[in-house]
């Protein structure tokens, strides 16, 4: 029997006057998942977050957290995109204030929280002396007060340098390992791809696609790109593939790249690796989240597109097995 999702969103809609900000969105998020909501500005991400937090009432539909109607803030930690704290407070004082609001002050180790976000040495400093990145990390610390089972993070790495971003996502991995569920929004798709398990793509308040990144790539029918380096002195005429594929020849004539439909990935890889006297190196690039995002933004809920080998640049076509036999 499948476990009950910690977060269940059912046919959720929200309208403001004549604007439909969210249009019939349904999502299930299991405990320990990290789901990223991605979409352009105005896609509905923050509005969905506010309904989960109980800050907005849905026009239709419902949000359930552990089977209960949304609004139980002690079960959720929240980090908004732009944090704004009283500058005269210290880091410790701010965390104490939020802990009192949540009713968990005595159970909270503020030093441990600040250490988690690399602010242990700044806990006694006034927040007015913090950089933007430090304030963002302090915001994450307040979101973790009371060990909430569900974290909602709106553009959480805004203002963080690359090293801090890596540490931030490493912390998210640690939290997920202990069962914390994470829902975040981000425009940094390469970051999301590396650290999240599931993605939901929004456009204009509508949910275009949802699921694990690899499954979305397959559903979209996106190809896998192969970059092949041939042995010195050889060119594309030395290579044989029985599948009809259009390669793009590199400037040095002995390197090439081509797109392969997902079902043919392993067969083509076997064919290439079986020609060691011809092939010096193979690099396989699956579709990125940027590719997946662009596909669904352009095609919406339409049927997935096929593989388009393209005809730009210097292109040669490998003959199919049938055509090659006919020329022998």
First to last CA, the chain: 59
143-200 per-position pLDDT tens digit? 999 889 999 999 888 777 888 888 888 888 888 888 899 999 988 888 888 888 799 9
Looking only at the bridges linking them, the beta strands covering 150-154 and 76-79 are parallel
**What pLDDT is recorded for position 42?**
87
Helix count and strand count (H, E) for the chain: 10, 14
Percent of the chain predicted with pLDDT > 70: 88
Mean pLDDT, rounded, of the chain: 84
Tell me the C-alpha distance between 246 and 200, whole Å. Answer: 32
The DSSP code sequence of 272-305 is HHT-TTTEEEEEEEPPPHHHHHHHHHHHTTSPPP
CA atoms within 13 A on the CB side of 121: 1
Tell me the C-alpha distance between 229 and 252, whole Å. Answer: 10
Q: Enter the tokens of residue 266.
A: 């392993």
Residue numbers of the chain with a pLDDT score lower than 70: 1-2, 72-74, 105-108, 300-328
**What pLDDT is recorded for position 107?**
61
- Answer whether 0.85 is exceeded by the pTM: no
241-276 per-position pLDDT tens digit? 887 778 888 888 889 999 999 989 999 999 999 999
**What pLDDT is recorded for position 320?**
39
Sheet of 224-230: strand order equals 248-249, 255-260, 224-230, 279-285
Residues whose CB is less than 8 angstroms from the CB of residue 116 and which lie 6 or more positions away in sequence, other chains included: 141, 144, 171
Instruction: Count CB atoms within 10 A of the CB of residue 183.
Output: 27
Strand-pair partners of 285? 225
């Amino acid at each position: 029997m499948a476990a009950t999702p910690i977060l269940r969103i059912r046919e959720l809609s929200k309208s403001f006057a004549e604007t439909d900000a969210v249009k019939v969105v349904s999502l299930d998020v299991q405990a320990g998942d990290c789901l990223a909501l991605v979409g352009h500005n105005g896609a509905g991400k923050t509005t969905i977050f506010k309904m989960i937090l109980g800050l907005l009432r849905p026009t239709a539909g419902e949000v359930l957290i552990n089977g209960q109607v949304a609004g139980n803030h002690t079960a959720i930690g929240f980090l908004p995109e732009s944090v704004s704290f009283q500058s005269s407070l210290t880091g410790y004082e701010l965390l104490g204030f939020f802990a009192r609001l949540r009713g968990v002050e005595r159970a909270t180790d503020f030093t441990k929280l600040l250490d988690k976000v690399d602010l242990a040495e700044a806990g006694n400093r006034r927040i007015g002396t913090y950089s933007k990145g430090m304030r963002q990390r302090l915001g994450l610390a307040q979101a973790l007060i009371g060990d909430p089972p569900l974290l909602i993070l709106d553009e959480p790495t805004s203002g963080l340098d690359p090293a801090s971003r890596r540490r931030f996502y490493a912390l998210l991995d640690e939290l997920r390992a202990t069962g914390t569920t994470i829902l975040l929004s981000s425009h940094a798709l390469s970051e999301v791809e590396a650290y999240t398990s599931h993605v939901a793509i929004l456009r204009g308040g509508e949910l275009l696609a949802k699921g694990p990144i690899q499954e979305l790539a397959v559903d979209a029918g996106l190809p896998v790109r192969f970059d092949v380096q041939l042995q010195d002195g050889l060119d594309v005429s030395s290579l044989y593939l029985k599948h009809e594929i259009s390669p793009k020849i590199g400037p040095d004539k002995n390197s090439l790249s081509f797109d392969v439909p997902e079902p043919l990935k392993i067969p083509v890889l076997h064919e290439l690796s079986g020609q060691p006297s011809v092939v010096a190196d193979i690099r396989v690039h699956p579709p990125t989240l940027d590719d997946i995002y662009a596909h669904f933004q352009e095609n919406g809920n339409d049927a997935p597109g096929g593989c388009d080998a393209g005809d730009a640049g210097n292109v040669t076509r490998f003959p199919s097995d049938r055509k090659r036999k006919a020329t022998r």
